[in-house]
Structure 1
């Protein structure tokens, strides 16, 4: 839009202590509840703030009507469109060891 235009943004930040208590694989309910809170605030789209949260993106999307912008899918489309054949990913040990980010 140019100029000084920018999107209005609502941020919901999870208490990482709660995530750490149960571990990432057990944090689905925390993320789902956060997304439902954002949906109640009538946000237009939801972008999850870290790669690891995308473990649950499809499952969460089935339980809310607000669209989740999946950065993995968007990134993969851009990579393919531009014909890029080699990409890198920086992430936590957990992100790098999990198999949820794969380009086929």
Structure 2
């Protein structure tokens, strides 16, 4: 439901839904909502979610990267620099991605 609401642009409704759930803190739900913030360029809510995840020790490198990308897509380069500095100061490193291709079958 959070993913559906987020993709449809109903970020506030999805946020209220996640906040009012009577379950343990689920970083996947919060991460899904953070990704929807990126999709719809909602910097304010994205920062609030990221701060929540960091405060509850649920953040991972993806949290910081998505927040950085939210700022970048909105042209907020000061925000990008702030997030990258926070990552560096916290010792968080993104694991490099890799790809593979198959040649001749």
TM range (shorter): 0.3 to 0.5
More helix by share: 2
What is the TM-score with the length of structure 2 in the denominator?
0.37
Q: TM-score, normalised by structure 1?
A: 0.37
More strand by share: 1
